[in-house]
């Protein structure tokens, strides 16, 4: 049985009623558990039944056919009726799995069997570690529900937008984490609610799946022209816009930490990158000191003091990117063109500034008697490079995790589906 599609359609039907309008996002209507699942069962079976009815409606056209089409239609009718029976027989199991699924949206039932919406109450910001806050988990219930009800659609040759039907003729939804990431990537740098809507309109025009989200927020279709707030006339509409803007605006910028280095330099870095960046920075500095003490580094020891190896430095005129990579490689700091190309404009400028600053500082160093990481006067620039490296590595890890999650989800749904084979 198509368990995934069934639970997803049940979720859509549940959330559709909960958030029938923007106002209900903030004030959940009364909904009894028994009544809800009784209604869901009827609507799910009705959706599947529509498929059987469609086959029955076209069956007379093939009654005189000799090509086997009639038998094929009868088989489809039998398969659909059989599916309806299995859904009916497994409804207790489906109800249990559905309750587990909607918990991720904070939807539970109280002792009186009434539906309730629970906000996440943990770690509201008091003495919280800025590096350990799960941004999606901390998203308000209203915004989370809004993002959870974005249907997957298709656009036909007449430009009509329609739900893309699932295997049970139900509604398929975009994964809420996918919607969250898409919106985050596109609106986190918005300067106002109107600017946020402009960015969302661009998303909707490029991806029809987001047309419904934009229309719900703006009160008009993305194809009706530029953004206008004229349709935002109710208080709950403005409240929802403000909640969405606050949710994604707070992700940018990320919390900043001021690092005071051992040599007195002060460097500002992002909280979620700070620990990893400092560790990597220390590794780079240790590499520079260790290789120099061994006699094959960028510094050389003569007469008990360390000075820059001018011969080695002359090999690295920083007039090309490759020379910059070679220079860093000589210091034990690996960077390559692929990583650099993934940087945005600001990060590329930061990279070039750090590399030039490091070389200039090395050239100006003179007669270092106590040669250690504390005595180097370019630790701040090294930390900047380490932060860029961590940013790039976290992107790779995030992509790997997203791929892993997709494989895991497919595997889990496969296991559930196998239960019905």
Rounded Cα–Cα distance for residues 162 and 151 (Å): 10
Q: How confident is the model at residue 416 (pLDDT cuts 50, 70, 90)?
A: very low
Q: Provide the b/e sequence for 28-57 (b: ≥16 CB within 10 Å).
A: beebebeebbeebbeebbebbbebbeebee
Using CB atoms within 10 Å of the CB of residue 162, give its burial: 0 to 12 exposed, 13 to 18 middle, 19+ buried. exposed
Question: What is the reported pLDDT for 396?
Answer: 57
Q: What's the token pair of residue 38?
A: 């009784």
pTM, 2 dp: 0.53
Question: What is the reported pLDDT for 304?
Answer: 82
The answer to whether the beta carbons of residues 343 and 349 sit under 8 Å apart is no
CA dihedral 211, 217, 221, 224 (to 10 degrees): -130
The reply to whether 78 falls in a domain is yes
Using CB atoms within 10 Å of the CB of residue 253, give its burial: 0 to 12 exposed, 13 to 18 middle, 19+ buried. exposed
Question: What is the reported pLDDT for 224?
Answer: 87
Question: What is the reported pLDDT for 374?
Answer: 65
Kindly state the percentage of the chain with pLDDT values over 90: 15
Q: How confident is the model at residue 49 (pLDDT cuts 50, 70, 90)?
A: very high
Q: Identify the bridge partners of residue 109 per DSSP, sorted by sequence position.
A: 115
Same domain, 263 and 129: no
The answer to whether the beta carbons of residues 377 and 361 sit under 8 Å apart is yes
- Work out the end-to-end distance of the chain between its first and last CA atoms, rounded to an integer number of angstroms: 7
Mean pLDDT, range 371-399, rounded to an integer? 71
Largest Cα span, the chain: 105
Sign of torsion, CA 205 209 213 216? positive
The reply to whether 381 falls in a domain is yes
The reply to whether 397 falls in a domain is yes
Would the pLDDT of 397 be above 60?
Answer: no
Question: What is the reported pLDDT for 22?
Answer: 55
Tens of pLDDT, residue by residue over 270-307, are 444 455 677 677 777 788 888 888 888 888 888 888 88
The reply to whether 245 falls in a domain is no
Would the pLDDT of 211 be above 60?
Answer: yes
Q: How confident is the model at residue 142 (pLDDT cuts 50, 70, 90)?
A: confident
The reply to whether 226 falls in a domain is no
Neighbours of 326 (CB within 10 A): 14
Q: Which of 117, 134, 151 is the last residue of a domain?
A: 134
Same domain, 130 and 263: no
Rounded Cα–Cα distance for residues 285 and 281 (Å): 6
Question: What is the reported pLDDT for 285?
Answer: 79
Using CB atoms within 10 Å of the CB of residue 106, give its burial: 0 to 12 exposed, 13 to 18 middle, 19+ buried. middle
The reply to whether 369 falls in a domain is yes
Lowest mean pLDDT among 67-71, 322-326, 341-345, 407-411: 407-411
The answer to whether the beta carbons of residues 13 and 38 sit under 8 Å apart is no
Q: Which of 134, 154, 174 is the last residue of a domain?
A: 134
The reply to whether 178 falls in a domain is no
Q: Which of 85, 101, 134 is the last residue of a domain?
A: 134
DSSP string covering 245-313: HHHHHTTSSPPEEEEE-TTS-EEEEEHHHHHHHHHHHHHHHHHHHHHHHTT-SSEEEETTEEEE-HHHH
Tens of pLDDT, residue by residue over 147-185, are 888 899 888 777 788 888 888 999 988 888 788 888 888
Mean pLDDT, the chain, rounded, equals 77
Mean pLDDT, range 390-403, rounded to an integer? 57
Domain around 372: 256-402
Question: What is the reported pLDDT for 89?
Answer: 93
Question: What is the reported pLDDT for 271?
Answer: 44
Would the pLDDT of 254 be above 70?
Answer: no
Lowest mean pLDDT among 5-9, 137-141, 386-390: 137-141
Would the pLDDT of 335 be above 50?
Answer: yes
The reply to whether 37 falls in a domain is yes
Number of domains into which the chain is organized: 2
Question: What is the reported pLDDT for 82?
Answer: 92
């Amino acid at each position: 049985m198509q368990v995934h599609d069934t639970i997803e359609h049940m979720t859509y039907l549940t959330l559709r009623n909960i958030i029938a309008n923007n106002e209900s996002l903030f004030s959940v209507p009364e909904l009894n558990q028994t009544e809800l699942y009784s209604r869901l069962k009827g609507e799910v079976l009705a959706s599947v039944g529509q498929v059987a009815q469609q086959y029955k409606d076209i069956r007379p056209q093939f009654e005189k056919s000799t090509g086997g089409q009639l038998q094929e239609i009868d088989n489809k009718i039998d398969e659909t009726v059989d599916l309806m029976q299995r859904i009916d027989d497994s409804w207790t199991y489906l109800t249990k799995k559905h309750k587990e699924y909607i918990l991720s949206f904070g939807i539970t039932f109280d002792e009186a069997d009434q539906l309730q919406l629970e906000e996440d109450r943990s770690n509201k910001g008091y003495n919280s570690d800025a590096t350990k806050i799960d941004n999606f988990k901390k998203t308000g219930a209203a915004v989370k529900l809004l993002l959870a009800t974005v249907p997957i659609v298709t656009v036909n040759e007449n430009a009509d937008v329609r739900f893309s039907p699932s295997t049970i003729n139900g509604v398929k939804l975009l994964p809420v984490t996918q919607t969250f990431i898409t919106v985050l990537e596109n609106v986190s740098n918005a300067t106002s609610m109107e600017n946020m809507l402009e960015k969302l309109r661009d998303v909707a025009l490029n991806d029809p799946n987001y047309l419904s989200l934009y229309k719900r927020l703006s009160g008009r279709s993305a194809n009706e022209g530029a953004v206008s707030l004229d349709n935002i006339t109710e208080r709950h509409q403005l409240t929802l816009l403000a909640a969405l803007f606050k949710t994604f605006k707070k992700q940018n910028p990320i919390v900043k930490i001021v690092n005071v280095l051992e040599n007195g330099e002060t460097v500002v870095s992002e909280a979620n990158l700070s620990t990893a960046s400092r560790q990597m920075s220390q590794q780079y500095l240790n590499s520079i000191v260790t290789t120099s003490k061994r006699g094959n580094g960028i510094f050389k020891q003569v007469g008990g003091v360390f000075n820059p190896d001018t011969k080695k430095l002359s090999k690295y005129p920083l007039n090309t990117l490759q020379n910059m990579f070679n220079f860093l490689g000589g210091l034990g700091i690996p960077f390559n063109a692929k990583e650099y190309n993934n940087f945005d404009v600001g990060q590329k400028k930061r990279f070039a500034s750090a590399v030039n600053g490091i070389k200039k500082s090395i050239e100006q160093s003179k007669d270092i008697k106590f040669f250690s990481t504390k005595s180097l006067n370019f630790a701040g620039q090294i930390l900047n490079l380490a932060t860029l490296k961590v940013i790039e590595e976290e992107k790779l890890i995030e992509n790997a995790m997203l791929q892993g999650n997709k494989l895991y989800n497919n595997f889990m749904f496969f296991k559930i589906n196998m239960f019905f084979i």
